[in-house]
Amino acid sequence: MTGRKTDQPPISCTDCCATLQEYLDGSLAKTESMRVFLHLRTCTGCQTALEQWQATFGLLEAMPALGPPADFDRRILAAVPYESYRSMADLRQPRVPVILAEETLPVWVRSPVTRLAGMVMAAAAGIAMGWFQAPPNFAYGVVVGLLPEAVVRLQGMLRVATLALRRSGG
Ligand SMILES: [Zn+2]
């Protein structure tokens, strides 16, 4: 495709130099890139600028990749003033052991539907035993039915107690 005409006007040296970095990155639009390419073929001044960019890019790529030093974390933490950290104590969320966090229990156990259904089942099993002389293994129904509610409540009480203890301890 020799002698193909572009419908784009020729690019000026100023515009060419301003887009050289993107040209090398390959981030220019196709037509723009072509205009720069055509200009570079005929303009030694811009060719020199291009070579300088290429040399700079080459230097940057030859530089070793730098990571943070091994004791980076420790130095950052050491630079944090301990007094201001302490003064923000009220802003920090009081923490409880993971086992006491609400999210530890599966959602279906925490669900009000499960808890209510369990209590209804426990009540039904209890009534069956008390009024209709149901066999003793109906007691399992009572225990299993009350379990979700009991677990959620017990965890809640322990969490409140733990938080109260932590707060009083400072
Ligand atoms: Zn030029």
Report percent pLDDT > 90 for the chain.
25
Q: How many A from CA of 59 to the centre of ligand 1? A: 24
Q: How many A from CA of 64 to the centre of ligand 1? A: 33
Q: How many A from CA of 12 to the centre of ligand 1? A: 6
Q: How many A from CA of 39 to the centre of ligand 1? A: 6
What interhelical angle do 138-169 and 112-132 show, nearest 10? Answer: 130
* Tens of pLDDT, residues 90-115: 666 667 777 788 778 888 888 888 88
* Tens of pLDDT, residues 121-135: 899 998 888 888 888
* Half-sphere exposure in the Cβ direction for 3 (13 Å, CA): 0
Q: How many A from CA of 47 to the centre of ligand 1? A: 7
Least confident among 16-20, 88-92, 132-136, 138-142: 88-92
* Tens of pLDDT, residues 82-92: 777 777 766 66
> Is the entire prediction scored with pTM above 0.85?
no
Domain ranges of the chain: 13-62, 96-169
